Amino acid sequence: MKPDLLKFTPKGIYCQAADVYIDPWKPVPRALITHGHADHSRWGNKAYLATDIAAPVIKYRLGNIKMETIKFGEVRTINGVKFSFHPAGHILGSAQIRVEHKGEIWVASGDYKLEDDGLAKPFEPIRCHTFITESTFGLPVYDWKPQEEIFASINAWWRQNAADGKTTFITGYSLGKAQRILRGLDTSIGNIYTHGAVENINQVIRNQGVSLPGTIRITKETDKKLFPGNLILAPPSALNSAWMKKFKPVSIGVASGWMTLRGPRRRKAADRGFPLSDHVDWKDLNKAIAMTEATRVIVTHGYSSIFSKYLNEKGIQASIENTEYEGELAEVNESAEENKVDAAAGGSE
């Protein structure tokens, strides 16, 4: 039997034939990075390769790193192994990595979603023998409503708050979710203020030539009388922080796939929960796998044991590999780190 083209090692997903890692969680000489979220692009690797669209944010977050870029669809051959990056639809610049060697094709999909959010290049199904997938929302109870519906309810909530003289405070992780929300907001209702962590990412993205609605960064000097009626966009870590005390009277909303369930929605102690996710729901997860025509699937983070059992029953050979990717949970934590960095730099209180 041929050895697996990609192996799960204590450092990350490893391609021995090319001696490179995909989204490693321990420092390695050469890392291929699917996207800029903290659980996929970590500090400490000697060399990085990511799409030209994902690169600016990764560089912003990791500082002075050795970074090469690649275009979607471009093929890079390393020791005879062909690598190419293809749109994953997860966040701006996010990629699935296709690996081909001696006629065998693997795809490491990182994080992905099928719904076109207008920011990330839409998910492109890649035919392959083995597909590596996450299963953050790999249960049939996760069934996203169309984003238009979610944005309509966010805007209706904002409108009502404005009529009540309240500030609207909504959280989504600062890379990806925040910009997606931003583009769904009805700017005729009021102004959009941003937490420093969100605004820093906005700037990186605007500098790439992507247009986002106008935002105002909140600083120590911002007059708090300006907030009522308007909306504040912040990372989840800002919830319950001292920083957010100045926004009263306020109505708080959380945008996350976890908000599908009543329990997490109530536990947040937020006023509203909006089920909006940058990961696939159950039906799209199954649809994506079917489109790859893969005969073997490796399930990483999420409801991996349940989902792999389901695939096996359907006749798709599936197994679980433990990784240190953590789906939307990690993306929440990532914002927490950014928040700390930001606070230390004095960007926001």
Q: Is 112 in the site for Zn ion (CB under 5 A)?
A: no
Angle at 26 between CA 21 and CA 32, to 5 degrees: 25
- What does 310 interact with, of another protein, Zn ion, none (CB < 5 to 8 A by kind)? another protein
Stretch that binds Zn ion, among 53-61, 103-111, 116-124, 217-225 (CB under 5 A): 103-111
Q: Is 66 in the site for another protein (CB under 8 A)?
A: no
281: its two tokens:
């729901």
- What does 329 interact with, of another protein, Zn ion, none (CB < 5 to 8 A by kind)? another protein
Q: Is 325 in the site for Zn ion (CB under 5 A)?
A: yes
- What does 143 interact with, of another protein, Zn ion, none (CB < 5 to 8 A by kind)? another protein
301: its two tokens:
């983070």
* Spatial CA neighbour of 284 closest among 178, 184, 135: 135
Query: Residue 97 or residue 218: which is nearer to Zn ion going by CB?
Result: 97
Q: Is 262 in the site for another protein (CB under 8 A)?
A: yes
Q: How far apart are CA 170 and CA 178, in angstroms?
A: 9
- What does 321 interact with, of another protein, Zn ion, none (CB < 5 to 8 A by kind)? none
According to CB under 8 A, which residues from 287 to 346 bind another protein? 301, 303, 305-306, 309-310, 313, 322, 324, 326, 329, 332-333
Q: How far apart are CA 158 and CA 208, in angstroms?
A: 29
Query: Residue 142 or residue 227: which is nearer to another protein going by CB?
Result: 142
Extended beta strands in the chain, E state? 7-9, 12-15, 20-22, 30-32, 47-51, 67-70, 75-78, 81-87, 95-101, 104-108, 130-135, 167-171, 192-194, 216-217, 231-234, 250-255, 272-274, 296-302, 317-320
Q: Is 123 in the site for Zn ion (CB under 5 A)?
A: no
Q: How far apart are CA 52 and CA 72, in angstroms?
A: 8
Q: Is 165 in the site for another protein (CB under 8 A)?
A: no
Query: Minimum CB separation from another protein for residue 252, in Å?
Result: 10
Contact assessment for residue 246 and residue 225, using Cβ atoms and an 8 Å cutoff:
no
Query: Residue 136 or residue 179: which is nearer to another protein going by CB?
Result: 136
Q: Is 173 in the site for Zn ion (CB under 5 A)?
A: no
- What does 85 interact with, of another protein, Zn ion, none (CB < 5 to 8 A by kind)? none
Query: Residue 194 or residue 286: which is nearer to another protein going by CB?
Result: 286
Query: Minimum CB separation from another protein for residue 75, in Å?
Result: 34
According to CB under 8 A, which residues from 122 to 141 bind another protein? 139-141
Chain-centre distance of CA 78, in angstroms? 28
Pairing of strands 81-87, 75-78: antiparallel
Query: Residue 138 or residue 190: which is nearer to Zn ion going by CB?
Result: 138
Contact assessment for residue 97 and residue 83, using Cβ atoms and an 8 Å cutoff:
yes
Stretch that binds Zn ion, among 36-44, 98-106, 220-228, 339-347 (CB under 5 A): 36-44
Coil, helix or strand at residue 117: coil
Q: Is 303 in the site for Zn ion (CB under 5 A)?
A: no
158: its two tokens:
């904002």
Chain-centre distance of CA 33, in angstroms? 13
Q: Considering only residues 21, 22, 37, 38, which one is a binding residue for Zn ion as defined by CB under 5 A?
A: 37
* Spatial CA neighbour of 146 closest among 293, 337, 315, 274: 274
**Residues at the interface with another protein (CB under 8 A):** 139-143, 258, 260-267, 269, 271-272, 301, 303, 305-306, 309-310, 313, 322, 324, 326, 329, 332-333
**Residues at the interface with Zn ion (CB under 5 A):** 37, 39, 111, 325
